[in-house]
Amino acid sequence: MQTAQSTIDPTEVAKFEAMAAEWWDPNGKFKPLHMLNPCRLDYITTQIAAEFDRDLTGEAPFQGLRLLDIGCGGGLLSEPMARLGADVVGADAAPRNIPVAQVHAAQSGLDIDYRHTTAEDLAAAGERFDAVLNMEVVEHVPDPLAYLTACHALLRPGGLHICSTINRNPKSFAMAIVGAEYVMRWLPKGTHEWSKFITPDELIALLGQAGLDPVDRKGFLFNPVTWQWRLSDRDLSVNYVTTSLRPA
């Protein structure tokens, strides 16, 4: 088993820890995630419902499912999953994010198990989940393969892994770094490093090497006129998301 330090970059952790108090400000430094959240939630809930034969129109459709939100931040994904009935563990390597998430969950009347820990430590402790959400994290770790291998270990056979990240090409540099950090100033300068971005083909290969079976991938497209995001079957040129299974 890899040690926790193998997939944790202290510099990356420090970036997000410095922004911890702003997680739930829709106009703050995490504004891009607040804007993207409805679109990615639609993708996540649809994938989970299809895999586990759940009716999203019913009450607490994810009841009985144990779900891990790795890199949970302030809980922007953990809370909707808990509202849908899932037993949620939210994990983050930045210690200051955890109390922010805990306080907000308590204010919202939600019971979420937030922990300052890593994927490796959870796997070493024998934790297992029906689904692992791995959203906008893999581009911040120094060893993506070791990290994804730990995510594989955290899944029960037949479990679902959903991973989103940013493509690496001139368009993603222009939009995710120049546009988001320098022009719109949605994120502090230096939040992302273009060299750490991962192309869809690279991610699919890494998932396969980690023992996961990729079954779907889609792009997230931003409309600058409506200021809304939508899913695309074809355009994965900037933000994109994948779904994989741990073979039963």
Residues comprising the binding site for S-adenosyl-L-methionine?
40, 71, 92, 135
Helix (H, G, I), strand (E, B) or coil at 203: helix
CB 136 within 8 A of CB 165: yes
Binding annotation: 40, 71, 92, 135
CA distance 236 to 214: 15
Structure tokens, 151: 């995510």
Structure tokens, 201: 């083909």
Q: Are strands 213-223 and 87-92 parallel, antiparallel or unpaired?
A: unpaired
Residue type, 66: R
